[in-house]
Amino acid sequence: MKAVLGLENGDFVVGEGFGVEGMLAGELVFTTQMTGYMEALTDPSYHGQILMFTFPLIGIYGVDRQNFQSKRIWARGCVVQEVCTSRIHHPSLEEFFGDESLLGISGVDTRRLTIAIREQGTVRAALIVGSDDHEAAVSCARRAPPISERDLIPEVSTRERIHIAGRGKRFAVIDLGIKRHMIESLKERGADIHIFPHDASHDEVASIEPEVLFVSNGPGDPRRAKHAIACVEHFIGELPIFGVCMGNQIAALALGAETRKMKFGHRGTNQPVRYIDGHIFITTQNHGFVVDHETLPEGCRITYSNVNDGTLEGFEERDLNISCVQFHPEAHGGPRDTDIHYFDEIFRRLP
């Protein structure tokens, strides 16, 4: 099938479509990971975005549902240089996209597009499969709303409270688009998990008499998660508060700090962060917004920072028992150092 990817700046690339015919628009972002493409595509934090892989060949080991981070693909579309069409043990990525009515484009110079995004910043884009009408694609991209104007969290959050029984501390989890591995990391440590919708009130969360508040990852601009921010504000000083990715940003906003949109964000499984003691970890990340470290209130301490650009990757407020990270400790691409370093540490801190 013919396919074209058009950008809001007027640029476009023509390639070969896979999946089904159709048209969609979203924010074009890139990830530098070499494996874990199904984990990325099913990550709810990619909702509203067209995901481009910088690794040249995607789909090598097919589609294994055991790697899914949610029940479905959340990325709006997929952009690759080459998609592997062979079948080994699982359905191919190409077959899966067709079966699930998804849109993808291959045969694209992803290196050129990635360099352009790094220089210009993230752009709105539109993908058309079944046509190479670049003018229609560019026009569609320009009509797409910026991601900060979209309410994406209600679409990825649970609509009902979910209880996963455990023998340990009672965790109230605010679901802004939580990944399966994040829940697994809490389960492995015996947590009694109560997952709440994104708009749960303070009273609803308090009804289970939680011992810990945990805020998950999620898509879009964290400032739109007004219910979650208000809920965290109520529990500051009452409960230990932990957060990952957007959860880090929500906790900072609840403390009165500010967040900002990044030029092109951090996405991939090879992002270096420096811990406060100088130790460096290679982490998995997926975010386009970041906490402005200069706006953190007195008493907060930066615990992790990004080696590449110095942005905040984690902070704590020990007197209030708040500890959050921007990266994904549960998404260990190899050694489980950040999983152990963060999750074991927060469980040790619990009263």
Distance separating alpha carbons of residues 165 and 11, to the nearest angstrom: 51
Could you confirm whether 84 is annotated as catalytic? no
Of 27, 39, 317, 330, the catalytic one is 330
Could you confirm whether 330 is annotated as catalytic? yes
Of 245, 316, 317, 332, the catalytic one is 245
| Cα 234 from chain centre | 25
- What number of helices (H) and strands (E) belong to the chain? 11, 19
Tokens of 7: 């950008």
Query: Looking up tokens 């501390």, which residue turns up?
Result: 169
Distance separating alpha carbons of residues 206 and 336, to the nearest angstrom: 33
Distance separating alpha carbons of residues 168 and 157, to the nearest angstrom: 24
Alpha-carbon distances of 55 from 140, 219, 328, rounded to whole Å: 27, 23, 20
Of 47, 134, 181, 328, the catalytic one is 328
* CB under 8 A, 24+ apart: contacts of 336-345: 337/281, 338/281, 338/283, 339/185, 341/275, 341/281, 343/185, 343/186, 343/189, 344/189
Note whether 103 and 78 are within 8 A (CB): yes
Using DSSP bridges, classify how beta strands 259-275 and 77-79 pair: parallel, antiparallel or unpaired: unpaired
Alpha-carbon distances of 71 from 13, 29, 67, 246, rounded to whole Å: 31, 22, 10, 20
Note whether 196 and 163 are within 8 A (CB): no
* DSSP label at residue 28: E
Write the secondary structure of 273-298 as one string of H (helix), E (strand) and C (coil): EEECCCCEEEEEEEEEEEECHHHCCC
Q: Which residues are catalytic?
A: 245, 328, 330
